[in-house]
Amino acid sequence: MTFNPDIHRRRSIRRRGYDYSRAGMYFVTLCTHDRTPLFGEVINGEMKLSEAGVIAADEILATAKMRHNVLFGEYIVMPNHMHGIIVVGARCTRPRCTTRPDCDAGHEPGRVQRAPTIGDVVRGYKSAVTKRINQLRNSPSSPVWQRNYYEHIIRDDSAYLKIAEYIQSNPRRWREDVYCV
């Protein structure tokens, strides 16, 4: 059955009227399907990644390298979710990037790339992780992620620092975490 907005009344959890391609910082949380502890386990307050967890972490770095106007701040891969700060709108131009000296993209000289939306970044990340994990598990169509994701617009440096601390301390607080199953 195809999506029909008159029948399937999905309510968006995004902020109405907000431009999610706008330069800014966003705190995102992505949960695994059925909150399955796929990415490893917390032992003595430290996250020990499984093979799938290593893939999830690697794809964060690959996403930042591939999308030259996206940077990642703090992030953590937990047993059944990941938290990350995504910075959108870092401008990348050729022949040399001003914000990304590691840029080796083959886009046109002097062309500024359109900033992706947070949805674009999350969708690409989830797709890449799912593909690699399903290859690892030899299960081509198994779900890895829950359907949506949580995001919070970071408005200032103070909020960024609080969220960064939350992300860094997540393994130490695992037993109290709402995502702990």
CA dihedral 31, 36, 42, 47 (to 10 degrees): -50
Strands 46-49 and 70-77: unpaired
Cα 179 to its chain centre, rounded Å, is 16
What are the residue ranges spanned by the domains of the chain? 24-91+117-172
Q: Which two tokens stand for residue 134?
A: 């399903």
Q: Which ranges of the chain does DSSP label H, i.e. alpha helix?
A: 51-66, 118-137, 157-169
CATH 3.40.50.300 fits 24-91+117-172, yes or no: no
129, 59 in Cβ contact below 8 A? yes
75, 84 in Cβ contact below 8 A? yes
Q: Which two tokens stand for residue 27?
A: 């705190």
pLDDT of residue 21: 60
Q: Which two tokens stand for residue 168?
A: 């860094």
| Mean pLDDT of all residues in 48-72 | 92
Give the tens place of pLDDT for each residue, 9-42: 555 454 566 666 667 899 999 999 999 999 999 9
pLDDT of residue 136: 95
**What pTM was computed for the model?**
0.77
